Amino acid sequence: MLSRKALARVALGTAAILAASSAAAVGLGPLVLQGVIDGPREGFSLELYNPYPEATDFVLYPVGLDDETAQDRVAILPAEVQLGSQRNRRILVVATALAAGETYKFRVCAQRKTPPEGVMINARVCSKITARRVG
């Protein structure tokens, strides 16, 4: 059994590791977004942020809310973008073919297009989006 002092050291070390890894992850927001429309298309705006110390190529793609199924009804403009260090860019997301009364839920994820050599985990971030068309 670990002493209180040892537990505190473990907790502090874990917090430092988590802070360092999350500080270097791509930024995408807002993380939850929803909209209501009376037509077949709904547009959303997301903000992509590059926290890395160099210009980086990013790729954005739509997947299912609870799985990795590609979402053909979602367009992302631009789907690939290069951002300079500490820069951000607005991304347009359009959900199409919404039926009357339909609620369509999906995620838009962003990650580095190609991780640097030696990086074992290519971190990504996803926003949950809900588009609802009134009947």
Give me the DSSP letters along 51-106: -SSS-EEEEEEEEESSS--B-TTEEEESSEEEE-TT-EEEEEEEE--PPTT-EEEE
Q: What CATH number did the domain enclosing 113 receive?
A: 2.60.40.10
Is 10 within a domain?
Answer: no
pTM, two decimals, is 0.79
pLDDT of residue 21: 40
pLDDT value of residue 24: 60
Host domain of residue 59? 27-133
Query: Which residues are CB-contacts of 66 (< 8 A; sequence separation ≥ 6)?
Result: none
User: Residue 102 falls within a domain, yes or no?
Assistant: yes
Is the residue at 22 inside a domain? no
User: pLDDT at residue 133 above 90?
Assistant: yes
Per-residue pLDDT band for 78 (boundaries 50, 70, 90) equals very high
The tally of domains found in the chain comes to 1
Residue 16: the pLDDT is 40
Let me know if residue 4 belongs to a domain. no
Question: Is the Cβ–Cβ distance between 49 and 88 less than 8 Å?
Answer: yes
Lowest-confidence range among 65-79, 83-97, 111-125?
A: 111-125
Mean pLDDT computed over every residue of the chain: 86
Residues of the chain with pLDDT > 70, as a percent, come to 82
